[in-house]
Amino acid sequence: MLAAVNSAGVNRGLSTPATAIQPAAGEVDDVDDCPELFQVRGHLYNLVTLRLIEPEDHRFFPQLQNAIARAPEFFRHAPVVLDATAVAGRPPPNMAEFARRLRQQRLVPVGVQNGDEAWTQAALNAGLGLFPPGRPAEMLRRQDTAQAGPQEAARPVAPPDPAVQPAPAGEGGKVATVVTEPVRAGQQIHARGGDLVVLAPVSPGAELLAEGHVHVYSSLRGRAHAGIGGNHDARIFCNSMHAQLVSIAGLYLVNAEIDERWLGKRVQIRCVDETIVMEALP
Amino acid sequence: MARVIVITSGKGGVGKTTTAAAFAAGLAREGNKTVVIDFDVGLRNLDLIMGCERRVVFDFIDVINGAARLNQALIRDKRVDGLYVLPTSQTRDKDALKMEGVEQVIGELRRDFDYIVCDSPAGIEHGAQAAMYLADEAVVVTNPEVSSVRDSDRMIGILTSKSRRAERNEEPIKQHVLITRYDLDRVSRGEMLKVEDILEMLALPLLGVIPESRSVLQASNTGTPVILDDASSAGLAYRDAVGRFLGEQLEYRIVGDQPKGLLDGLFNRLWRRSA
């Protein structure tokens, strides 16, 4: 096979097309040769979701302002996903203006979820992203059980409130979510605004999240994230420590880094300065 | 009222079809009119294991598409009274399983049958979900090794949350674990997981422990559900499993490949009946 030669006279090898495009003046021509300037990674983030019910009501933003005032730390600069499940089918508001008013409240709208085509287009036009479809889990009738399906979050058993109602940072959870069934691989339970109490085993591949503490009165083999709103005082408690990963306020520790003497034991896990500390439960 | 039972696992190759065939035959032998349905569209095996691959004219997908009636597709088993097979298509794929059609077929079968056994494909995608969606009970087939247990756990989560019963907030699917390919020697050497370890991880009632057995391959080669093989330890274990499923209280006997002799076999059978 003949080597192709570009018009600059440099032999680039067999795969170059016969007519190479000359870089325009000012363009960088060594992008492929320079060292790696970024890496693309996948990450799991916990985002506040604002479920829209009456976004056009003139009382919407005042009511939102009140909700934010109840827990200002939690909402400040929070990335927010707009869930359009309840309003899909109705024409969307002016998304750019809506987003601007959210930013006035120091929320950062990042995307739209569960909208129809009109909503999707409005979101894209306003520079928002699209989140994959999801549906909120239904609350089970049994009072003391909240259970999630894969990738879905459970709500606390408290009366429903359109805005998120978190516990202020530093206080223990006011509303505790109690789970009595085993949490299986692929399931994710998020106790919004409070503590999470699990009375059954948590399998490898399962994930627990809470703004407050995470209590597992059984074996913990999955992942547990406490204090996800930034609460460094949150703790994790379990009867048998086999977690794949634990984190408090974002500071995480993987199983491989856990001292062997804690494996299988009844422990409490807390954050002291920037370290994760594990102690035996009394 | 008919009961729909799904035989599922998540992991492939653990013994779902072997179990579906054995279970269906076992239930029919106890006098229950039973049909076993192959949900593994495109990779069908149930007809081979049941020994009816040369009698397949119409299949499950034909019935869903309205190209055939149910009674044209159902194949009567020649050995066991009251046992029927609904094979699936080898040429189509799992997208052909339209849920509306599946519901219609199962609805029709519910009228005539006592038990409807659904042989699920491996995985957690559409085929497996279609097989479990309408189930009343589930047998989660698990091999005594970590990846199988991990996959079974995932499947249990899906059974708990994505079935029609879960969506309608009805009583959840009654789930059981069936351990298959249990090799006593390898377990005692620590190469395979023990029963207690598996149950601790899956936290479900144990339906039975089926020993690793050469007779299983022989059974599939001859197209005979292994439960019909009186000399097979796996077959006997399946009989116990069916018995437990139907409510009998039976001790779990963990054995090696062959019962030691005719007398042992006899003893086992006598003891079992008196339970």
List A residues 98-137 in contact with B (Cβ-Cβ < 8 A): none
Nearest CA-CA partner of A96 in A121, A63, A131: A121
Contact B161 A201 (CB under 8 A): no
CATH 2.160.20.70: which residues of chain A?
Answer: 164-280
pLDDT of residue B94: 81
pLDDT of residue A173: 41
Q: Report how far residue A270's alpha carbon sits from residue B28's, in angstroms, rounded to the nearest whole number.
A: 57
Q: Which amino acid is at B253?
A: R
Contact A201 B157 (CB under 8 A): no
User: What is the share, in percent, of chain B residues with pLDDT greater than 70?
Assistant: 93
Q: What value does the CA radius of gyration of chain A take, rounded to a whole number of Å?
A: 24
Contact A204 B150 (CB under 8 A): yes
Tell me the two tokens of residue A206.
């399962």
Q: Which long-range contacts (CB under 8 A, 24 or more apart) does B190-196 make?
A: B192/B144, B192/B145, B193/B144, B193/B145, B193/B146, B193/B149, B194/B144, B195/B144, B195/B252, B195/B254
Nearest 10 degrees: CA dihedral of B148, B150, B156, B159?
Answer: -80
Nearest CA-CA partner of A167 in A227, A108, A109: A227
pLDDT of residue A28: 66
Q: What is the CATH number of domain A164-280?
A: 2.160.20.70
- Mind telling me how many Å the CA of B161 is from chain A's nearest CA? 5
Give the nearest chain A residue to B151 (CA atoms).
A185
User: Would the pLDDT of B49 be above 80?
Assistant: yes
pLDDT band at A30 (very low <50, low <70, confident <90, very high): confident
Across the interface, of A148, A149, A184, the residue whose CB is closest to B153 is A184
Contacts of B200 in chain A (CB under 8 A): 201, 219
Greatest mean pLDDT among A23-27, A103-107, A154-158, B29-33: B29-33
User: Would the pLDDT of A1 be above 90?
Assistant: no
Tell me the two tokens of residue A73.
């730390």
Q: Does A264 touch chain B (CB under 8 A)?
A: no
- Mind telling me how many Å the CA of A158 is from chain B's nearest CA? 19
CA neighbours within 13 Å on the CB side: how many for A256? 0
pLDDT of residue B257: 63
A vs B: CB pairs below 8 A: 47
* Contact between residue A74 and residue A163 where contact means Cβ atoms under 8 Å apart: no
- Mind telling me how many Å the CA of A177 is from chain B's nearest CA? 18
Q: Report how far residue A237's alpha carbon sits from residue A89's, in angstroms, rounded to the nearest whole number.
A: 45
Contacts of B140 in chain A (CB under 8 A): none
Nearest CA-CA partner of A200 in A214, A215, A182: A182
Choice among A67-81, A144-158, B2-16 with the minimum mean pLDDT = A144-158
User: Would the pLDDT of B273 be above 70?
Assistant: no
- Mind telling me how many Å the CA of A150 is from chain B's nearest CA? 7
Contacts of B161 in chain A (CB under 8 A): 147-150, 187
- Mind telling me how many Å the CA of B186 is from chain A's nearest CA? 24
Contacts of A240 in chain B (CB under 8 A): none
Q: Which amino acid is at B218?
A: Q
Contact B160 A184 (CB under 8 A): yes
**Axis crossing angle, helix A95-104 with helix A117-125, rounded to the nearest 10:** 60
Contact A186 B160 (CB under 8 A): no
Q: Does B69 touch chain A (CB under 8 A)?
A: no
- Tell me which of B84 and A130 has the higher pLDDT: B84
pLDDT of residue B262: 47
- Residue B216: its H or E element: helix B214-222
Contact A149 B150 (CB under 8 A): no
* Contact between residue A235 and residue A248 where contact means Cβ atoms under 8 Å apart: yes
Q: Report how far residue A61's alpha carbon sits from residue A4's, in angstroms, rounded to the nearest whole number.
A: 63
- Tell me which of B26 and A7 has the higher pLDDT: B26
pLDDT of residue A114: 83
Summarize the confidence of residues A202-211 as an average pLDDT: 93
Q: Does B156 touch chain A (CB under 8 A)?
A: yes
CA–CA distances in Å: residue A261 to residues A240, A241, A246, A280, B93: 12, 10, 16, 10, 51
A141 Cβ contact list (under 8 Å, min separation 6): B169
Candidate CATH numbers 3.30.70.260, 2.60.40.10, 3.40.50.300, 1.20.1070.10; the one for domain A48-131:
3.30.70.260
Contact A150 B161 (CB under 8 A): yes
Query: pLDDT (tens digit, 9 = 90+) per residue, B127-138?
Result: 999 999 999 999
Tell me the two tokens of residue A237.
């408690």
Contact B150 A182 (CB under 8 A): no
Query: pLDDT (tens digit, 9 = 90+) per residue, A146-183?
Result: 333 332 333 222 333 322 333 333 444 457 899 999 99
A99 Cβ contact list (under 8 Å, min separation 6): A109, A126, A127, A128
Map residue A281 onto helix, strand or coil: coil
Q: Report how far residue B54's alpha carbon sits from residue A93's, in angstroms, rounded to the nearest whole number.
A: 63
Query: pLDDT (tens digit, 9 = 90+) per residue, A101-153?
Result: 999 999 999 999 888 888 988 998 889 998 866 544 433 333 333 333 332 33
Q: Does B154 touch chain A (CB under 8 A)?
A: yes
Summarize the confidence of residues B245-270 as an average pLDDT: 66
CATH 3.30.70.260: which residues of chain A?
Answer: 48-131
Contact A185 B150 (CB under 8 A): yes
User: Would the pLDDT of B246 be above 80?
Assistant: yes
- Mind telling me how many Å the CA of B93 is from chain A's nearest CA? 25
Nearest CA-CA partner of A224 in A266, A260, A255, A193: A255
